[in-house]
Amino acid sequence: MLDTLSEELKTSRAFEEQMREFGTIVTNSDAIQKTLSDAVDDGVSSHGFCELYVSTAAENGIDFTVEQMKIAMHEQKQGSDKVLPSFVQKLITIL
């Protein structure tokens, strides 16, 4: 039973690996960091930031949903499960 639960958790949280992969891209891209930072400076909503992050990830061949991004943001604001890069963590504290 524990193995089944563990496997279900891995499957349901598989998006985290995609987010970590995109986080590496964000960390290494001044252009993406500027786009995200400019959006926050311009007063983007939390939902708008999620949409921008997800669409930018998709442009780089990485797929996860806005809902999954919202889950990651919420968890990071609560101090758990760091799947977003530190640059993005700083931005989401402003939202």
Does 90 map to a domain? yes
Number of domains in the chain: 1
Does 39 map to a domain? yes
CA distances from 32 to 6, 11, 12, 28 (A): 34, 28, 27, 9
Q: pLDDT 10s digit of each residue in the chain, 95 long? A: 555 544 554 456 788 999 999 999 999 999 999 999 999 999 999 999 999 999 999 999 999 999 999 999 988 888 776 899 999 999 988 88
| Residues of the chain by 3-state class (helix, strand, coil), percent to 5 | 75, 0, 25
Cα separation, 29 vs 34, in Å, equals 9
DSSP label at residue 42: T
Does 69 map to a domain? yes
Amino acid at site 28: N
Does 3 map to a domain? no
Q: Identify the domain containing residue 49 by its residue range.
A: 15-94
Question: pTM value?
Answer: 0.84
Does 25 map to a domain? yes
